[in-house]
Amino acid sequence: MMNPQPPIHATAYWTTAKQHGELRPEEMPAPGPGEVLVRALYSGISRGTEMVVHAGAVPPRVAGQMRAPHQEGEFPGPVKFGYLSVGVVEEGPQDWMGARVFCLSPHQDRYVVPLESLTRIPDDVPSRRAVLTGTVETAVNALWEAGPRLGDRVAVVGAGLVGGMVATLLRTFPLQRLQLVDLDPGRKQLADAIGVDFVHPDDALADCDIVIHCSASQEGLERSLQLVGDDGDVIEMSWYANRTVTIPLGEDFHARRLSIRASQVGMVSRSRRHRRTNADRLNLAVSLLKDPVFDAFLTGSSRFEDLPEVVQRLADGTLEALCHVVEYPSGNPAPSHATHNSET
């Protein structure tokens, strides 16, 4: 009779109450058939969604749909949430041993997941940059939804992590015009880094074929409806959580026969759903990260042990970031206190 394998000890970040999180020790069984043990190197904080979770603002009506793939607990908490993890396989099938992988897993230093949850990271994609895989996947899904065509005029409203990522992918399309629109003049630095024209909302050019809205603000959605041309589409990527948004449907929307279509990464866009799986989409996303331009989105780093403080600082605005990177003890050393790049 074989002796059972000892449990695996790990530490994970939990949102334990509104505006409060902590690191908790955990025990997991050793990986079984079809499972792997991953040692985390880096994880990324998806500021928009994770701050909603931190604030306890996930609407109960959609709590089920907003679950992360490897989430534990329920909203508003205690809940273990997150989905931008990069690590290395320590136990599993021989052909996966030592492989660098991306996983839609919460912030945790070691975790056991099914093999099919992993996406191999190509050799030409650095591990740190690979934390952006989930956000690139979101942007890919939006472009499948929007369907930009040759010679289109496109505006991306909101130059945060998601909007900037969409603009980064669109810059390679044969468009007639692409503008990244934001109120914050500091976002011009991001636009310059990715090679996209930056404009204030008041100066943005109208008559767009497609407008992709990512600002998560009522004003941004209103301006998007003004910028899109007659019979045009606004692709809505913002998640407003429990906030109510009012828009003037009696103005551009009705008179010019406009459409607002939601894009949400939980399912593959309808235009590709029958020919692409979630795994296909993730493999495409990670392959795009060979381009070093994406490093512009990695705007700060801190140690895993400092994560509760970092999340609170992101929530209260004392720490600014596009994607803040969490470094685990097995990765490269980070400063003893959270840092951020002023060019955010």
Tens digits of residue pLDDT in 78-124: 999 999 999 999 999 999 999 999 999 999 999 999 999 999 999 99
299, 341 in Cβ contact below 8 A? yes
DSSP states of 238-273 as a string? ---TT------IIIIIHHTT-EEEE--TTS--TTTT
Residue with tokens 């931008």: 84
Tens of pLDDT, residues 225-247: 999 999 999 999 999 989 999 99
Residue 169 sits at the vertex; the CA angle it makes with 163 and 171, to the nearest 5 degrees, is 100
Of 113, 124, 132, 85, the C-alpha closest to 327 is 85
Q: Both tokens of residue 3?
A: 């002796």
pLDDT value of residue 342: 33
Burial 197-225 (b: 16+ CB within 10 A, else e): bbbebeebeeebbbbbbbbbbbebbbbbb
Does domain 8-120+291-340 sit in CATH 3.40.640.10? Answer: no
Cα–Cα distance measured from residue 88 to residue 86, given in angstroms and rounded to the nearest whole number? 7
Query: At the topology level of CATH, where does 141-262 sit?
Result: Rossmann fold (3.40.50)
pLDDT value of residue 6: 85
Of 81, 88, 10, the C-alpha closest to 46 is 81
Which amino acid appears at position 38 of this protein?
V
pLDDT value of residue 177: 98
pTM of structure: 0.91
Cβ contacts of 235 within 8 Å, gap of 6 or more: 142, 145, 146, 210, 211, 212, 213, 261, 263
Which ranges in the chain are annotated with CATH 3.40.50.720? 141-262
Cα–Cα distance measured from residue 2 to residue 261, given in angstroms and rounded to the nearest whole number? 56
Distance (Å) of CA 35 to CA 84, 120, 123, 313: 19, 15, 23, 35
Q: Both tokens of residue 331?
A: 């990765």
Beta bridge partners of 42: 86, 327
Within 10 Å of residue 21's Cβ, how many Cβ atoms? 26
pLDDT value of residue 3: 58
Residue with tokens 């010019």: 256
Of 50, 26, 54, the C-alpha closest to 40 is 26
Which of helix, strand or coil describes residue 134? helix
Which ranges in the chain are annotated with CATH 3.90.180.10? 8-120+291-340
120, 213 in Cβ contact below 8 A? no
Which portions of the chain are predicted below pLDDT 70?
1-3, 330-344
Tell me how far apart the 2 most distant CA atoms of the chain are, in Å. 76
